[in-house]
């Protein structure tokens, strides 16, 4: 017997059930608004103020800092909010992550470095040359410098350099430079690598193998491309600016993520929910954005935690060699400046070097623990760690 709920195939309004390619969530709308506000502030700073003075209080926003704010917006809407929404997944990952006690300590250290590096320069004046306070040892330390016995005081808790720079300020400003290089370059490489890898995998599933072949052959070429030589050439032609170094790292370091995402997406491109999305009329970019990349997020995050310390070390090496932006107070630059005083002023190179070492080491420990926590191939009851 027919009922009111009986509906024939012809009676269904399939347009109403089709996949919407232009739907925008509340978080997506808020992200767009945030970027519009950031763009408006940028235009105001450069068109109205003409970058001639501070934008907020005493903060004269630089090009790299605009890029960092855009990166933090992306991390908030695509990292923090998804974790906040999914309490069950967050608790599951955290339960597995905290089994590695060293990784928990490393994470706390990285959060502190991030907070101090982002907020600290807003309250500390930039390091200034003070020849009257040259090579002062850290507080409580007595050292003989050029035949003169000096004892550190709380005026310069970590001592000063040969130019009179406060090592404490150099360390804090170096934290910001390291976070800028690591986070911005990683976001660029993650976005490009994820899109390329997912598109290549989906192209194979859609019998567009030539597109996969073109993309992956380019990835092979880029993996052997001498990016350092290109960087030296651009530094010679245009000068060593930090934003340029970050972009070169970001645009020429995504091949590993592309390969990883392609491998993950190939496994999922033939699954039923992908077939259902294709049958509903979803185009390639919709499937990539809504299905393939989100379902490869675990592998992407793991690769990102490995990329960040690599970029930080790369910038520090460039600064140590004198190829980085001379207007930035990088840890590598401070370490290089202290070479001439290693015998009588060990703190100039040692203290920034210690921070650089522990920052890179902490990223590796946190990344290893994230791999154990997020990799579904790991035993739930196992995990690793100390």
Identify the structural domains of the chain with CATH numbers, from first to last: 83-127+166-374 (1.10.3720.10)
pLDDT for 2 equals: 46
pLDDT of residue 42: 86
Residue of 59 and 308 predicted with greater confidence = 308
Is the model's pLDDT at 15 over the cut of 60?
no
- pLDDT band of 59, cuts 50, 70, 90: low
Give the residue, 136 or 295, on which the prediction is more confident: 136
Nearest to 200 by CA among 139, 260, 125: 260
pLDDT greater than 80 at residue 214: yes
Instruction: List, for residues 223-239, the tens digit of each pLDDT value.
Output: 888 887 888 888 888 87
pLDDT, position 132: 76
| Out of 70-79, 86-95, 193-202, 282-291, least confident range | 282-291
Query: Residue 19 has what pLDDT?
Result: 47
Which pLDDT value is given to residue 45?
79
Residue 385 has pLDDT above 50, yes or no: no
**Average pLDDT of 317-342?**
86
pTM value?
0.84
What pLDDT digit, counting tens, does each position of 31-52 carry? 899 999 999 888 887 877 766 6
Residue 203 pLDDT: 83
Residue 354 has pLDDT above 90, yes or no: yes
Q: Kindly state the average pLDDT of the residues 346-356.
A: 92
């Amino acid at each position: 017997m027919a009922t009111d709920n009986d509906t024939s195939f012809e009676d269904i309004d399939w347009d109403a059930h089709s996949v919407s390619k232009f739907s925008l969530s509340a978080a997506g709308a808020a992200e767009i608004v945030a970027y519009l506000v950031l763009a408006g502030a940028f235009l105001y700073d450069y068109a109205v103020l003409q970058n001639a003075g501070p934008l907020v209080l005493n903060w004269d926003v630089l090009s790299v800092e605009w890029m960092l704010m855009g990166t933090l917006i992306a991390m908030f809407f695509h990292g923090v909010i998804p974790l906040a929404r999914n309490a069950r997944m967050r608790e599951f990952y955290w339960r597995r992550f905290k089994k590695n006690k060293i990784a928990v300590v490393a994470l706390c250290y990285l959060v502190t470095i991030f907070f101090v590096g982002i907020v600290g320069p807003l309250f500390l004046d930039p390091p200034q040359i003070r020849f009257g306070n040259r090579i002062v040892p850290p507080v409580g330390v007595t050292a003989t410098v050029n035949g003169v016995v000096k004892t550190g005081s709380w005026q310069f808790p970590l001592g000063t350099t040969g130019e009179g720079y406060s090592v404490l300020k150099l360390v804090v400003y170096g934290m910001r430079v390291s976070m800028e290089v690591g986070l911005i370059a990683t976001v660029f490489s993650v976005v490009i690598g994820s899109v390329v890898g997912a598109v290549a995998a989906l192209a194979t599933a859609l019998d567009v193998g030539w597109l996969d072949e073109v993309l992956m052959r380019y990835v092979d070429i880029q993996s052997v491309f001498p990016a350092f030589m290109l960087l030296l050439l651009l530094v010679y032609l245009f000068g060593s600016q930090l934003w340029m170094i970050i972009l070169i790292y970001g645009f020429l370091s995504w091949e590993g993520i592309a390969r990883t995402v392609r491998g993950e997406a190939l496994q999922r491109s033939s699954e039923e929910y992908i077939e259902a999305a294709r049958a509903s009329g979803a185009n390639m970019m919709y499937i990539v954005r809504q299905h393939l990349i989100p379902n490869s997020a675990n592998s992407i995050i793991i690769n990102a935690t490995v990329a960040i310390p690599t970029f930080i070390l790369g910038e520090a090496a460039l600064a140590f060699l004198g190829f980085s932006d001379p207007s930035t107070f990088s840890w590598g630059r401070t370490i290089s400046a202290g070479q001439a005083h290693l015998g009588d002023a060990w703190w100039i190179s040692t203290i920034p070097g210690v921070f650089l070492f522990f920052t890179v080491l902490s990223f590796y420990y946190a990344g290893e623990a994230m791999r154990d926590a997020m990799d579904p191939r790991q035993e739930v009851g196992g995990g690793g760690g100390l």
